[in-house]
A and B are shown apart, each in its own frame.
Chain A
Amino acid sequence: MTTLDAKVPDAAPRQTLRINMGPQHPSTHGVLRLELELDGETVVECRPVIGYLHTGIEKSMESRNYMHAVAMTDRMDYLNPLGNNLAYALALEKLFGCPIPERATVGRVLLAELTRINSHLVWLGTAALDLGAMSTFLYAFREREELLDLFEELTGQRMMTSFIRPGGLADDMPEEWLQKTRKFNDALPRRIDEYEDLLTHNSIFKERTQGVGKLAVADAYALGVTGPLLRASGIAHDLRRAHPYCGYETYEFAVPTRTEGDCYARYLVRLLEMRESIKIVRQALDRMPGGEVRTSDRKVMPPPRRELQHSMEALIHHFKLYTEGLRPPPGEAYVGVESPRGELGFFVVSDGSGRPVRIHERAPSFANLQAIPVMAKGGLIADLVAVIASVDPIMGEVDR
C-alpha cells in the first residue's frame, strides 16, 4: 500500500524564499524595507534597507543659517518635533553659553514631556493596530488629537512646531493654555487605565508579544540601542536621570524597566513612561515661574519690541540678528537628550560664521533599527510585525 508520503520525493531540496517586506507594507511604519529570507514562515535572515525617505536634511542645513535649521529638526522625527528642537537648541546654547530664563526651562520640560506622551500615544495606537487591536488605535488617537489641539493653540502648528528655539521659547505660554494643559493632563491617567484594560491582560495581545523579539543586553549594547528598548532589556539608562538637562534632576519621576526584553516588556515600559511623563508635566505646571521666556543675550534672541522704540543698541542687535542670523562662537558641541525613542543628540560644528559647518543628528531610531535582524532571526514572519512595532522606528529621522 502506498501512503501519501511516498509520493513526495524525499530528495527534494529544502529551499528558502527571499522576499521583500516593504517599503509599502502598512506595518513597516513608513518606508522601511526588509529583505527577508524565509524558510516556510520562519525568518532565517532579515536585512533592513533604508533610504527611501532620505531628504538630505543635514546637507540643506549647511546651506542655510542656524535659525532655518530649527524648522528642519521638526521634520526629522515628526512625532517628537519639540524634543528635536530642544536637543538642537541645547547644543547651540552650549556654543553660545547664554543664560536661559527659568520660565523657558520649565516650559521646555513641559513641552518635551507632552511630546513624549504624544509620541507614545501614536506608537501605542499603531503598534496595537498592527496586532489587530483596532479600538486601541481609535482611543489613542482621540487623546492625541486633544494634544495636537493644545500644540496648535500654543505654537500655531499641530506637528511642525519649531517652538523651542536657541535662547528660549518662541513665545510665552498664556495662562489659559496652561490651565487647559492641566485639565488634559489630569484626565490622562484614567485614559491610560482604559488602554491597559484593553491590552495589558488581553490574552491575544499577550500571546502575540510575550517572548517575541527578545533582545539581550549584550546585543543591545553592541548595537548602540537606547531608549525604551534598552530599558525593557533591564538597563535603567535614561539621560534625564544619568545626565540631567533642563533641571530634570529636580523633578520626581521613576525610570521604568523590565527584564524580559521582549515586545510585551517594551509595551509595559512605554506605558509606564507615559505615566511618569504625566507626573513631570504636573510638576512643571505647579512650579511654572513668571518672567521672560527669551534669553537676555541679544546675540541669540532679538530684543523685545518695546526696547526697539527707544534703544539704538537694541535696534542694531535686531538688525544684525535678522540680516546675518545667529553666529555661534567657533567650536563644536554635542548634546544628547532622551527622546521617546532613545538618545537623540545634535552635533553642531561652527566656524564662527552665520552658516553651520556641520550639523549631525544622532538619531535613536537609526541605531535601534539595526537590532531588528537580531530580534527577528528565528521568529515567525507574523512576529516580525510585532517586532517592528515594538522598535517604533521613525523613518524621518532614520533617513534624514
Chain B
Amino acid sequence: MTTLEEHIAAAHPGADLGQTKDGTVFWRVSAGMIGDAVTLLQRAGVDRFLDLTAVDDPTRDDRFELNYLFYTSTGKRWFRLKARTNGDAPSITAQFAGADFYEREVFDLFGVRFVGHPNLTRLLLPDDWQGHPLRRDEPLGGEPVDFTVTRDVYGT
C-alpha cells in the first residue's frame, strides 16, 4: 500500500512536508493549490474532513495560516494541510461538504474569503458585526461599564 507521502511525492516532487509535535504529518502548499492538493489527497485515500482553522500572524504579509485536518479511514491516520494566505483562499466545499461551516467560521472570525463557497456569510457573530475578532491585532474589547469615571473618560 502506498502511503500518503508517496502519493504526494509522486505528484509533487520536493513537496514541503513536515510534522507537528504530536506526530501528524503536514503538507505546506500555496493558497492557490489548496483545491488540487485536496483532490490529490482524496485520490490517495483521505475520506474525511475533520477541521479547519487559521492561525494569524499580523507581522507577515501572508498573515493567515490555514490549517486543514483530514483523516483517512484506510490508513487510520490524521493528515494536516497548511496554506498561507493574505485573505483569499479557494473553497473546498465541493470536495468535502463538511467544510461549509468551518469556512464560514474562519471567514467570520478571521476575515479569510473562501472563493467558491455557496453561502459565505457570518456564522457565529451577528451579520452586522464589524471586524474579525480572532485576528491577533483585534483588541479583546468589552463593554465599558457605566461608572461616573468611565462616563467622563469614554463619553458613554
Contact = CB atoms under 8 A, between A and B. Distances in A.
Interface of A: 50-51, 54, 56, 58-60, 62-63, 91, 94-95, 219, 221-226, 235, 237, 242-243, 331-336, 343, 345, 347, 349, 357-358, 360, 362, 366-367, 369-370, 399-400
B48 A224 contact: yes
Nearest to A330: B21
Nearest to A223: B98
Contacts of A221: 47-48, 73
B60 interface: no
Nearest to B82: A332
B42 to A, nearest CB: 11
Interface stretch (B50-58, B83-91, B143-151): B50-58
Contacts of B24: 334
B140 interface: yes
- By Cβ-Cβ distance, the 8 closest A-B pairs, closest first, are A224-B98, A51-B124, A223-B98, A333-B21, A362-B51, A360-B53, A54-B124, A331-B21
30 contacts: A50-B124, A51-B124, A51-B125, A54-B125, A58-B134, A59-B140, A91-B22, A221-B48, A222-B98, A223-B97, A224-B48, A224-B50, A224-B98, A225-B98, A333-B20, A334-B78, A336-B78, A343-B50, A347-B51, A347-B53, A347-B67, A358-B53, A360-B51, A362-B51, A367-B98, A367-B101, A369-B101, A370-B97, A370-B98, A400-B124
Interface of B: 20-22, 24, 47-51, 53, 55-56, 67, 69, 73, 76, 78, 80, 96-98, 100-101, 109, 122-126, 133-134, 136, 138, 140
A331 B20 contact: yes
Contacts of A62: 136
A243 B123 CA distance: 32
Contacts of B109: 58
Contacts of A334: 20, 22, 24, 69, 78, 80
A367 B50 contact: yes
B136 to A, nearest CB: 8
Nearest to A58: B134
A331 to B, nearest CB: 4
Contacts of A370: 97-98, 100-101
B75 to A, nearest CB: 11
A63 B98 contact: no
A360 B65 CA distance: 13
A336 B22 CA distance: 10
A59 B134 CA distance: 6
B107 to A, nearest CB: 13
A399 B78 contact: no
Contact of A362 (B69, B97, B133): B69
Nearest to B105: A366
Contact of A56 (B76, B122, B133): B133
Nearest to A360: B53
